[in-house]
């Protein structure tokens, strides 16, 4: 089927980034969240990020205006359900995602494709609770969406070829690259990345190095653009912990056991950049290590 309209559920960091790139690529976008304030903030963020592209010369002012005009916001789930492709980009908690899909089902068009931007949760399990497991798949963007070139496409056990091909076509129209992943816990990127971050937290927990030395070692010693603890703060420590729990529960291997220090930071509400404190304190002009 030809995809012309995109529904985005969730207007946070990932959702507004997805809406941004879809609108620039010429798709009509309907975005929803639980409050109008969240939607207004997302549209403002998209406008700011589009403006940054204009100032860099990668986008014209006319294209910026056209992209913004293609984005519509709503608090009504039924309106999002009437699009050709729905991308759920809510919090990384399965019960929340399931509730969202349950709310969509009565309003969907017969051919609407359902997808989730989940970074770790079983696509097969999410799909099995809908009326269209063959038209359901994982559509996992990397953060920040406008900048990162990769999209993981994850087929559930029932996902059909037409659904995969339609989503692949969207990725190509965005000018991004797709990596096809099988539906196992955390897929490809986070299956490799999160244990590395978790091991960095263990290295901190055991006193092998402090925050500065660990991040400096990985940036200069392995040419990573960000250190693992800095990256964890950027992703969100709650998200890192959620993915490690999915890996630990889904694969039943102790090598995926979340570090107790990561759990402690999340319990404290120190989730990284979004709460101004994580492995670094972001409340001043320059981030300061918290350990």
User: Phi/psi of residue 152, each to 5°?
Assistant: -85, 125
Q: Which two tokens stand for residue 44?
A: 């403002």
Is residue 166 within 8 A of residue 114, CB to CB? The reply is no
Is residue 203 within 8 A of residue 209, CB to CB? The reply is yes
119 among annotated binding-site residues: yes
69 among annotated binding-site residues: no
274 among annotated binding-site residues: yes
Distance of CA 180 to CAs 117, 138, 155, 164, Å? 14, 10, 8, 9
15 among annotated binding-site residues: yes
Torsional class of 262: left (φ above 0), alpha (ψ -120 to 50), beta (otherwise): alpha
Q: Report the distance separating Cα 70 and Cα 64, nearest Å.
A: 10
Give the CA diameter of the chain.
56
12 among annotated binding-site residues: yes
Q: Report the distance separating Cα 9 and Cα 18, nearest Å.
A: 10
223 among annotated binding-site residues: no
Q: Report the distance separating Cα 46 and Cα 54, nearest Å.
A: 12
H/E element, 248: helix 237-251
51 among annotated binding-site residues: no
H/E element, 114: strand 113-116
236 among annotated binding-site residues: no
143 among annotated binding-site residues: yes
Q: In 3D, which of 151, 265, 202 has the Cα closest to residue 274?
A: 265
Q: Are strands 280-281 and 28-32 parallel, antiparallel or unpaired?
A: unpaired
Q: Which two tokens stand for residue 266?
A: 């999340």
Which active-site residues does the annotation give?
Answer: 119, 140, 152, 190
Which DSSP symbol is given to 278?
S
175 among annotated binding-site residues: no
Binding residues for NAD(+): 10-15, 33, 92, 97, 119, 143, 274
Binding residues: 10-15, 33, 92, 97, 119, 143, 274
């Amino acid at each position: 089927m030809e995809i012309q309209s995109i529904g985005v559920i969730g207007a946070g960091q990932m959702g507004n980034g997805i809406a941004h790139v879809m609108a620039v690529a010429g798709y009509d976008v309907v975005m929803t969240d639980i409050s109008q304030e969240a939607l207004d903030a997302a549209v403002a963020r998209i406008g700011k990020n589009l403006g940054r592209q204009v100032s860099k010369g990668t986008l014209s002012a006319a294209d910026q205006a056209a992209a913004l005009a293609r984005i519509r916001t709503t608090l009504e789930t039924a309106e999002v359900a009437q699009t050709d492709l729905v991308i759920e980009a809510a919090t990384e908690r399965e019960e929340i995602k399931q509730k969202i899909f349950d709310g969509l089902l009565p309003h969907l068009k017969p051919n609407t494709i359902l997808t989730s931007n989940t970074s770790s949760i079983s696509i097969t399990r999410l799909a099995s609770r809908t009326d269209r497991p063959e038209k359901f798949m994982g559509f996992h963007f990397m953060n920040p969406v406008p900048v990162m070139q990769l999209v993981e496409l994850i087929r559930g056990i029932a996902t059909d070829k037409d659904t995969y091909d339609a989503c692949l076509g969207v990725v190509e129209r965005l000018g991004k690259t797709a990596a096809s992943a099988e539906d196992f816990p955390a897929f490809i990127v986070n299956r490799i990345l999160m244990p590395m971050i978790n091991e960095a937290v263990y290295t901190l927990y055991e006193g092998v190095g402090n925050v500065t030395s660990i991040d400096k070692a990985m940036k200069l010693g392995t040419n990573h653009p960000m250190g693992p603890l800095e990256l964890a703060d950027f992703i969100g420590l709650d998200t890192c912990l959620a993915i490690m729990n999915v890996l630990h529960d889904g694969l039943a291997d102790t090598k995926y056991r979340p570090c107790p220090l990561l759990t402690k930071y999340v319990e404290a509400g120190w989730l990284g950049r979004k709460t101004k404190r994580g492995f670094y304190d972001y409340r001043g002009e320059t981030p300061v290590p918290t350990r």
